[in-house]
Structure 1
């Protein structure tokens, strides 16, 4: 039994061609006319949703994917301007996946990098999203703008990954297992380490043993510091009208350094949310019961 069969036994896996030679690893399960797209963060894969899907599939069709550059999705060579790893390109992958599955409107849920992709998706095509759930982020533009010594220390990777092509990739690829354990343990709340068993960490390591995964990750971050910033700057006055649920770890870096609710209220007209107690960065894995209850209540307010 592979790990997907263990954690997502009722899901069907497929590689969906989204154009330009890119295939997105996709799992689909559940039932219902409404669909939810779940987008993972760094340095993980669709496995971050393993605790939430059982509570969603009875009411919704649930789609979980690996982002471009991550997991078992395609990992193209980055372009000089990083445009093929922009959040627009990564979001368009997901829109195409949902269209091919027959869903022109759907709920979006994202954690970390997945939430940054979702943020660009709702800016570009708000008509396609019924709601957005953003976990443990504020907009990339705001976080780079407000960088402090403490943030740069805790989020060192934001500044290391964007270095010249080839350098961070080579360093990171030297010991993927050490990297995964260091990176996750740095951000996991103290009460949640048992939620990350060895088989889960081993699966993340498996994906990272492909050198192109580290390249894809670095290109994702390089795009965030360059082309994504330009896109964000161009539409700073655009207010999100799609309902937003913001969740963040009370013990995490984002929650400690920013007023997350106020930050999202500046960018969106209809926001609710809260800090999740006893929780670091990995919100859907550390406190899935709290997250699931909040999501179900929120999603029910905005049916198709």
Structure 2
């Protein structure tokens, strides 16, 4: 284990789980909170939030999802099952069990929110409370795709292309793609310092990471939709808080709370004055919402 350079007071470790090694940062004592990052970030996206949760009396676990950061990037298959949200959720159950936690609360941003959605469906006994950040359900977003969404979220349709096309194109200049992607989603200038971007880029320059990220999106456009269709009548039973950026694409195009009311039995929603990168743009406001929601009896 080593001290985290980005999450003050945290140690970074690697868990040897069945079939995969997952890197994670952890600190604190008290009730456990699992923080799941999105694309194109790593667990470092929580650097402004996680230490405050520890100060408030929580144990905080912030992993790199499979395929991202320093976690393993396993081989995929023709239906992209190893990068399905079901398998990615299994990683988190195994990680939390290894750490001795049978029940915990979850905060998922972007791709991590989609993993958290599947986690709450497949393991309802494990998830006490759930917060999803700046997403509507995957099935809903694909079903309601129109020209505006396809234009503003072009990577949903670019990254799923077959035969290594996006891998080749991103790999020709990963820094350009990464910086443009982040800049397009952040609405509060200066929220993502260059040190963090360079850390994200360290991972993004790895061809295996680029391929794994494409596989994550390919799974969402295929096997994940199949799993969602099979669970069309299932509902998340854990209390769910949906938070979105008032200046984000999701906030502009969807009634976010209403989309989650179709998927869960107990839903509240709130918008914050930011873009997509909520943990980096408005960490004070987000921390306050997390602490309030997770302290509710």
TM over 0.5: yes
Which runs of 5 or more structure 2 residues have no equivalent in the other structure? none
From 50, 53, 70, give the equivalent of 1:56. 53
The 10-residue stretch of structure 1 (172-181 or 104-113) with the greater mean CA deviation from structure 2: 172-181
Q: Which residue of 1 aligns with 2:99?
A: 101
Distance (whole Å) between structure 1 residues aligned to residue 280 and residue 119 of structure 2: 24
Q: Which residue matches 1:47?
A: 44
Q: Identify the residue that residue 236 of structure 2 maps to in structure 1.
A: 240
Post-superposition, which runs of at least 4 consecutive aligned residues in structure 1 deviate over 4 A? Answer: none
| Structure 1 residue 165, shift from structure 2 partner | 3.2
Kindly provide the CA deviation profile for residues 92-125 of structure 1, in whole angstroms up to 9, marking residues without a partner as x: 0011000000001000110000000000000101
TM-superposed CA distance for 1:6, in Å, is 3.2
- Match in the other structure for 2:282: 287
What is the distance in 1 between the residues matched to 2:34 and 2:130? 10
Q: Distance in 2 between matches of 1:265 and 1:125?
A: 19
Moved more, 98-107 or 54-63: 54-63
Question: Using the alignment, how far apart are the partners of 1:5 and 1:127 within structure 2?
Answer: 31
CA distance in 2, matches of 1:186, 1:224: 22
Partner SS for 1:247:
strand
Aligned residues: 295
The CA deviation string for residues 68-115 of structure 1, in whole angstroms up to 9 with x for no partner, is 000000011211110000000011001100000000100011000000
- Structure 2 CA distance for aligned equivalents of residues 284 and 197 of structure 1: 13
Question: Who is 1:35 aligned against?
Answer: 32
Q: Quote the offset at 1:215 in angstroms.
A: 0.5
CA distance in 1, matches of 2:254, 2:8: 39
Equivalent residues in 2 for 1:82-231 (5 A)?
82-189=80-187, 192-231=188-227
The DSSP-based 3-state class of the residue aligned with 1:127 is: coil
Aligned to 1:267: 263
Among candidates 242, 248, 269, match of residue 252 of structure 1: 248
Q: 1:5 Cα shift? A: 3.0
Superposed CA deviations along residues 13-42 of structure 1, whole A, max 9, x for unmatched, are 11112212x11111110111x100000000
1:226: how far off?
Answer: 0.5
Question: What SS class does the counterpart of residue 42 from structure 1 fall into?
Answer: coil
- Determine the C-alpha separation between the residues in 1 that align with 2:72 and 2:163: 18
Question: What is the distance in 2 between the residues matched to 1:72 and 1:53?
Answer: 19
Please report the TM-score for the alignment, with normalisation by the length of structure 1.
0.95
Q: CA RMSD in A?
A: 1.1
Output the CA distance in 1 between the equivalents of 2:167 and 2:76. Answer: 12
CA distance in 2, matches of 1:83, 1:6: 33
Q: Displacement, 1:195?
A: 1.8
